[in-house]
Structure 1
Amino acid sequence: MSRAATASAWPQPGYDVGQSYYNSHESIVNAGTVQTLRRRWLATPLYADSLEKTLKGE
């Protein structure tokens, strides 16, 4: 595996123990490239009410 791939690999869900979802080694997605991102898929939850509760923190 290349050094860049190793540096940006997420060792666990949420990236780190605190689940910050922040990878300080990320170099591909940044303020200059984010506008080029395109949605490749969309997931619809089976139970919309449970999603709403999750978003509200219930």
Structure 2
Amino acid sequence: MSSKKKGAPLPASSAGLLRFFEDDTKGYRLDPKIVVSIPVGLIVLSWALDLLLIK
């Protein structure tokens, strides 16, 4: 039974996860609010145009 415990993988530690998310990569930084609001705005605009122009 002790051989099974030695071969089992260790759980991910929080320090390893923090190091992963702290790595900076090159590229654009966008606020999540912008990423969500642009598609929602396009959907609302599409519905408004459909209601106003199709009738």
With the shorter chain as reference, the TM-score category is under 0.3
Would you tell me which structure has more helix in proportion to its own residues?
2
TM-score, L = length of structure 2: 0.21
Structure with the greater alpha carbon radius of gyration:
2
